[in-house]
Chain A
Amino acid sequence: MNERSERIIQHSAWRSHRTSEARAGGLSTRTIQGQKNLQDIRQASKDGIGGSPLRPDGTLKVKGEFAYSSDMWHEDMLWGMALRSPHPRANILSVDISDALKVPGVYAVLTHDDIPGTKYYGLEIQDQPALAIDKVRYHGEAIALVAADHPETARRAVKKIKVEYEVLTPIVTEEQCLNPEVYGYVHEPHEYKSHGSGNIVHSQKLVSGGGVTDEIRALADVIIKSDYEVGMQDQAFLGPESGLAVPAEDGGIDLYIATQWLHVDRQQMAPVLALPEEKVRLTLAGVGGAFGGREDLSMQIHACLLAQHTGKPVKIVYARDESFFGHVHRHPAKMTYEHGATRDGRLVFADARIVLDGGAYASASPAVVGNAASLGHGPYVIPNVRMEAIALYSNNPSCGAMRGFGAVQAAFAYESQMDKLAAALDMDPVELRQLNAMAEGDYMPTGQQIDSPAPVAELLQRVKDMPLPPPLDLDNLDIRQIPGALSNTSHGEGIVRGIGYSVGIKNVGFSEGFDDYSTARVRIEVIGGEPVAMVHTAMAEVGQGGVTVHAQIVRTELGVEQVTIHPANTEVGSAGSTSASRQTYMTGGAVKLAAEAVKQAVIDKGRRRYGWTQSDLTLIGGKVVSESQGALISVVDLLGDEAIDLTREHHHRPTVPFDKETGQGFGHVQYTFCANRAVVDVDVELGLVKVVELTAAQDVGRALNPLSVVGQIQGGCTQALGLAVMEEIIVKDGKVRNASFTDYLIPTILDTPPIPVDVLERPDPHAPYGLRGVGEAPTVSATPSIVAAIRAATGLALNRIPVRPEHLTDTL
């Protein structure tokens, strides 16, 4: 154990165990004593890819010993806290910290004046101040920081900071945003750090075929045009934003943090802290869910600033209300869609405008716009398409990444359109979709050819063919199974069943020319008479099970049983973000490359030593095996004391940016598709909904871990259910009205139905093992199926989600 690790954290006598275990891989790791997931996780299992071995972190998690970022502890640590703006738009006339500094137990109070380096950061556009500078642009923006000996001391001190505001009328509606000369600029024109202008962060147009003109419109027998709206959804991960920043003797900082991308956090942090990147060392602490909400920085810079300033370790843990202010949300959207079709149901054109509210800062808005424009037509072949997607700057909360971004909003609109078209044409809604479904070989409106399986029609057929749940048994009613449940609102009265279908498309990986490569380091050596492999990546395990899959890949490639997962940190190259359904593809792919290189090196070592000439050598069961001649030598005997330790990068095939005006370009790495059938019971008198069953069929290319794949699909469907019927951050005049789990409701187990999942495996020849990213497609596709089912039960148009009881009872 190095000197630093001894200095850090004696969590308690009960939590200090076997620190030597961390050295099992013989590695120099920075560890926190007693916090075992920050040490290597070692697991013995025979399961390679295609199996469902148990999670290597599962035992720690069920014992309560897995150290999440909010569990970090240091005997000398301080608590950090932020003062946040109560106003969505105001000029800051003065900040007086003198009274706060006088509170006993307060060690530091900081404002932007105390920032040693660059004051702005951002994922794509560096437009966000680490602490507000002279103005605030959204409700909840951080203005000042306090470090104190106890959270209550910090709270008292925060309340003693006096800020004088000149409160301004917030710019919040589309009309206000698009008329900056009248209503003002969220960022003054000279402040723009990107191509955006006039309260528009980013825009993307797309035209394919003949575009949409009067001549094209005339080709359609039926035209459906509607406006749609999607509310602001929150990731609502359970583990609050949190971490521990520890100042180091070399003037640098060690940060134990829950994030989705260690390296891009560091890249944004280092200039603000005025430190070279190598002195900002990040280690992934346990992550309590992410779903996009940890792509942007939250408390990272704040904790480090306080640690730099006080010379003490500083822990910040957001309370739930602060969490709602501390991360970006799903973009609310207003969309206008027009579809034309022939009498026999063939789509002729689609014309759409998608307006996304990006809020105060850019975050991932450009990528969200790109997805909305390029995927907004849905998984359909449409000969003539015109699209425009824009993201606005406003004084609403910042919006950015959330599972399925850009595609989720559009899917609600285009799938609603499909149902309306089917009704107008008197067609079965599934048949209409199948008739127009894209397939391998077809072209996206971007001009990109779909060059791997796209079984859209089959997925729809599969959910349609699954058996339906039994009808409600009114004679043996269990009220827990009907709308309202234990609230005892119905004993069967008013309940109508509805069924709805949907299908969606999502891209996998980062797009538009971005090279989001992943790095993996794989090592093999003999420990205790056994060959043991170690995987070291910077991949953020946020719950998805990437660590399980990495071990499976290594077992498959190296033929060993024992695989150790090294803690994720910045000592190895970037793994890219745990988002965009990309980690198994990208970092899994890197692990595969590194493991293949290690395998080759082991074999080459044998060739050099023993002069093997066979071309059919591989590693199986701890031995070097010739497929024709059998085992040649054990890996233990071959390696002896030597370790083989190789690092590889995995780059996906290159993409290009979309043309700004036409949207043309090979912009996406891979596409993924999911279809759903929803069965709902609606109390049509009270407007209450119970989803009875939510069926999913998804093509995953190859299921590396079937148990995890199904878990991802079920979890994704449930977040989609939330968006369909309950989840919305309510913002009025720029102010968040429901920043709590009391009023921002996510589905409970009584809201969530059985979710039968049909997993298809149609390999993608361009992807490692043929796999297809899994996590987001169900979140894209499931919401519209539920709304379609509610429409079927009620006959209402329902052009806005989430669907509230008011929408169903005409009492808005």
Chain B
Amino acid sequence: MSDQQSRPKFRWHIIVFLAPAVLVYTAVMIYPLFNTLRLSLFTEVDQERVFVGLQNFQTLFGETVWSSQFWNALGNNFWFFIIHMLVQNPIGVALAAILSHPKLRFASFYRSAIFIPTILSFVIVGFAWKLILSPIWGIAPGMLDAVGLKSLYAPWLGKEAYALTTLSLVSVWQFVGIPMMLIYAALLSIPDEILEAAEVEGITGLSAFWKIKLPLILPSIGIISILTFVANFNAFDLIYAAQGALAGPDYSTDILGTFMYRTFFGFQLQLGDPHMGSTIASAMFAIILVGVCLYLFGIQSRMRRYQF
């Protein structure tokens, strides 16, 4: 009896305040996601949509025509991700460390300059870099020539061996500002008392970075890694803008996003197949889900946190 009386009133305002965001998010994210998953279980026979269960997945992984393209795209996607992890994130951390140095002049200028490419459109970035690297009009051959290194120049975007790495580095150039900003914020939040205490103990300069700051920003680096992972496995725009839907040369820059686009919407004489396209999209979703879960349960839950 007394239990019922002390039970708090139902708090309607919570629902009212949550509703707009939940509704919009459901309409533009959750519903399309589940509808895509649903679509991957169907196929079209004689203008009719028929349920076929997991047959599309069997086709995707069982038939070499599809599976060879899928594994090629997945492999390329991993290489794309590895380049980002090895180049973008360390450079981002280094830039943040330099920027947070109290004696650096024009720090805010550098910060904005490095961050600006992030807000540029993929199309602009893709097109600008295509022109820079172009063997015909580009400034890259001329610049290398000026320092006597013309022999190092190759039409990188047109060579199978280099195209994917080149595009990964272009993407790194564009997005290095994001890890830099996140790490920069994390570095600023480290209390001065800790650094001063370390200084008293004789830990300064580089060793202060390795022994004090780096352990404190590790959770941020973890978050950045997982953001990079999700962004890279959803990537599409830059490759499409620079190399088109066939992701040339010879599919060497084909990643899951371009493979999905080509299948879903069709290309040139290839008619679009929304069902196989959804199957690839579902596989991408599964890959990202597994990656994020591995991180959340395997790494983040074991990470030590420091409260100040």
- A in complex with B: no
- List residues of chain B with CB under 8 Å of any chain A CB: none
- List residues of chain A with CB under 8 Å of any chain B CB: none
